[in-house]
A and B are shown apart, each in its own frame.
Chain A
Amino acid sequence: MSTSGMFADLPVEVGLAYEGERIRKPQMHVELGGPNVKEKFELLRVKSPEEVEDGKITIIGPDVQDLEEGSSVPFGIYIEVSGDKLEVEMEGVMERRIHDFCNYIEGFMHLNQRDSIWLRLDKKAVKKGLNFDVTGKALQRLFKSEMSIIEKMQITFLTEPVEVKKKFQEALDIYEARDARARGMTDNDVDVFYGCTLCQSFAPSHICVISAQRYANCGAISWFDGRAAAKVDPKGPVFEIPKEKCLDEWKGEYEGINKIVSEKSLGEIDRIQLYTAFDYPHTSCGCFEITTFYVPECDGLGVVHRDFKGQTPSGLTFGGLADSTGGGRQVNGFHGISFEYMRSPKFLQVDGGWNRIVWLPTEVKEKMKDYIPKELYDKIATEDDATDIVSLKEFLKEKGHPVVEKWVEKPPDAIEAQTLEAMPVGTISGVGIPSGGITIILKNAKIHAEKVIIKRAK
């Protein structure tokens, strides 16, 4: 970006060269916001045209040069924009640009966001004439040159503590409303998902698909994080996945996902369904926050998180279960996920969602309290209720857990050995069978057997 001409009338330079400039404490004229100040914010609102006076810059409280040198002061930037094509939903994205644009200004350091902003202004730049008016002009020009849909823009800088405090409260309310809206965003509302291959160094066939309603397995990357990362470095480890044709809305299968997964896993995985732990589950890297485990005896799913050190009713610890699902494989019922995905309405919806969850550690139960359907909360066992299959089944039966309805009245103690004529008993393609410590993977195997005996494990 060549910005010199556009800003020739300003006393300081503006341009990409200044991005990432750190201002050390001894160099700073003043610190606006930051960890030493409680009230600070930046807020951008979309308004109607008559409410915005284009180019207006208002300063409430002392300007930069009048603030005490070396001090940290309460601070707010309030930007109002209008434009035919602007929508309230765009406020967050535009507001994030304040960070980039402030950093383009010589002698201006801007860190963090929202009510955590931390700004420093360099002594030399302030001597040259950097103040709020100059900052406002630079911001208005940068915003308008980059986003032509902004027709009018006015900016208010606040350093008067009482005024900052008032507006700060308003900002908090608006952030909250914005978050509520973002949390309500569904996979249908977006055109693209994001992929992440950061874990491929140890799980070469794994790629995380990050949708609005399914967080990355590690819990670190939301759809919004994906969007931000892909924008900064589109060819990097976090990238866009166009949804393309929806193959199954209920299961969460999309042509775009299958294509990318197949390509990035080098053909190892070619189908992914986002909202299930069975058949074509999303693969697991190695660093998921939680894993599910299938409990065949109750036809339910258990859930265990990384910090849980004890044994699950399956007899395995988190570590053991993680070994049987990690590494980029699709293993029926064993599924690495994040806490955030458990808060999603799409959480294993194909498999019955929370109705299928039979066991989880108390810590997880507590954490998910607001997301577990009320009528189910007491029916799901924890380590205090069940430590093995027998006690788990008893607990579920006693509490009337929904999975119990599906149990056969009285399951036979052992399935009778049957004698059949020699014939293929199954065609298995790439299914992993978790069996305690080891996993056997059969790929495109046809099994012929003279006799098949299935016995209940003792």
Chain B
Amino acid sequence: MGKVIAVSGKGGVGKTILASLLIRKLVKSGKKSILAIDADPDSNLPDALGVSVERSLGDIREELISKQSEFPPDYSKTAWLEAKVLEIMAEMPSFDVIVMGKPEGPGCYCAVNHMLRSIIDSLPRSYDYIIIDTEAGLEHLSRRTTRGVDDMIVVTDLSVHGFKTAERIKNLSKELGIEFKHLYLVGNRVNPSHEKMISEKIKSTGLEFAGLIPEEKEITEYNLVGKSLLDLPESSLAVKAVDDIAKKIKLI
């Protein structure tokens, strides 16, 4: 069983940046069995990783529903789905990427989701590391898409709202009986002058403090031209900060 890390937080706080840079760290450390899951319909983890993914899990779910009555009678839909999940993955030398895609339409997803769940649940067996970039907010908890996650890292910016989301994630997971091995908090876009204040605020949330990522122009530039964050130089302050976070959470 691989280690499953999910990155969550409110929209726009930099979940994708943290997820990408954690993957970067794993890749640079020579790890070769990594699965990146983009579970945020609003962001784009593949772009940040410099990978193009054409189809999502949502697309194959729709494909199955639209085609289901054309399948031969004793043709296994689960086996078909299983192959499709591999087909839509981008396979890179040291990591694979899968995109969850858009939420469900109005049709019936009970059966297809049931089939998909068993396939998705079995994925961690085949990888040493699974990094999930979750959708903003708390839905992933109530929908149980983040069950089986070992460590949850909540990212926040300096806003009150970001901290509130972090606390809600903590409370809701407790209420729902979801037990993470660790529940970490990471501050993003923090200027050195704010460090002291924000570290204290983080302590008051009751989450484990995992580190701070400074605001960095280079990342904005990379995002702007669609360059992979995996290519950021070692000298990048954000890269250094995330490398420290990776050590702190014992990812490597």
Q: Provided the pairs A198-B110, A220-B65 are in contact, do residues A111 and B125 lie with their beta carbons within 8 angstroms?
A: no
Q: Is B193 an interface residue (CB 8 A)?
A: no
Residue of B nearest to A223 (CB): B73
A286 to B110, CA, bound (A): 10
Interfacial chain B residues near A372, Cβ < 8 Å: none
Tell me if A111 and B111 are in contact (CB < 8 A). no
How many residues does chain B have at the interface if contact means C-beta atoms less than 8 Å apart? 36
Tell me if B33 and A24 are in contact (CB < 8 A). yes
> Within the complex, what minimum Cβ distance (angstroms) separates A28 from chain B?
10
Q: Which residue among B32, B78, B94, B110 has the maximum number of chain A CB atoms within 10 Å of its CB? A: B110
Q: Is B87 an interface residue (CB 8 A)?
A: yes
A20 to B106, CA, bound (A): 31
Tell me if A182 and B111 are in contact (CB < 8 A). no
Q: Is B223 an interface residue (CB 8 A)?
A: no
Tell me if B79 and A113 are in contact (CB < 8 A). yes
Tell me if B79 and A220 are in contact (CB < 8 A). no
Tell me if A228 and B86 are in contact (CB < 8 A). no
A111 to B111, CA, bound (A): 20
Tell me if A116 and B80 are in contact (CB < 8 A). yes
Q: Is A77 an interface residue (CB 8 A)?
A: no
Q: Is B29 an interface residue (CB 8 A)?
A: no
Tell me if A111 and B83 are in contact (CB < 8 A). yes
Among candidates B33, B79, B91, B107, residue contacting A112 with C-beta atoms closer than 8 Å: B79
Residue of B nearest to A220 (CB): B111
Interfacial chain B residues near A217, Cβ < 8 Å: 108
Q: List A residues 194-225 near B (Cβ within 8 Å).
A: 196, 198-199, 201, 216-225
Interfacial chain A residues near B96, Cβ < 8 Å: 24
Q: List A residues 207-247 near B (Cβ within 8 Å).
A: 216-225, 228-229, 237
Q: List B residues 213-228 near A (Cβ within 8 Å).
A: none
Interfacial chain B residues near A182, Cβ < 8 Å: 72-74
Tell me if B107 and A198 are in contact (CB < 8 A). no
> Within the complex, what minimum Cβ distance (angstroms) separates A184 from chain B?
10
Interfacial chain A residues near B77, Cβ < 8 Å: 220, 225
Tell me if A20 and B125 are in contact (CB < 8 A). yes
Tell me if A306 and B106 are in contact (CB < 8 A). yes
Q: Is A183 an interface residue (CB 8 A)?
A: yes
Interfacial chain A residues near B73, Cβ < 8 Å: 179, 182-183, 185, 222-224
Q: Is A123 an interface residue (CB 8 A)?
A: no
Q: Is A175 an interface residue (CB 8 A)?
A: yes
Q: Is A92 an interface residue (CB 8 A)?
A: yes
Q: Provided the pairs A179-B72, A224-B73, A306-B106 are in contact, do residues A112 and B111 lie with their beta carbons within 8 angstroms?
A: no
Interfacial chain B residues near A116, Cβ < 8 Å: 80, 83
Among candidates B32, B64, B69, residue contacting A340 with C-beta atoms closer than 8 Å: B69
> Within the complex, what minimum Cβ distance (angstroms) separates A125 from chain B?
15
A288 to B108, CA, bound (A): 7
Q: Is A289 an interface residue (CB 8 A)?
A: yes
Q: List B residues 74-90 near A (Cβ within 8 Å).
A: 74-80, 82-83, 86-87
Q: Is A287 an interface residue (CB 8 A)?
A: yes
A346 to B110, CA, bound (A): 25
Residue of B nearest to A216 (CB): B111
A198 to B110, CA, bound (A): 6
Q: Provided the pairs A20-B122, A20-B126, A182-B73 are in contact, do residues A220 and B108 lie with their beta carbons within 8 angstroms?
A: yes
Tell me if A92 and B114 are in contact (CB < 8 A). no
> Within the complex, what minimum Cβ distance (angstroms) separates B125 from chain A?
6
Tell me if B108 and A92 are in contact (CB < 8 A). no
A interface vs B, CB < 8 Å? 20-22, 24-26, 35, 92-93, 96, 99, 111-114, 116, 118, 175, 178-179, 182-183, 185, 196, 198-199, 201, 216-225, 228-229, 237, 285-289, 306, 338-340, 343
B interface vs A, CB < 8 Å? 32-33, 64-65, 68-69, 72-80, 82-83, 86-87, 91, 93-94, 96, 106-112, 114, 122-123, 125-127
| A-B pairs with lowest CB-CB distance, top 4 | A287-B108, A22-B126, A220-B111, A218-B108
A-B contact pairs, 5 of them (CB 8 A): A24-B96, A96-B74, A112-B82, A218-B107, A285-B110
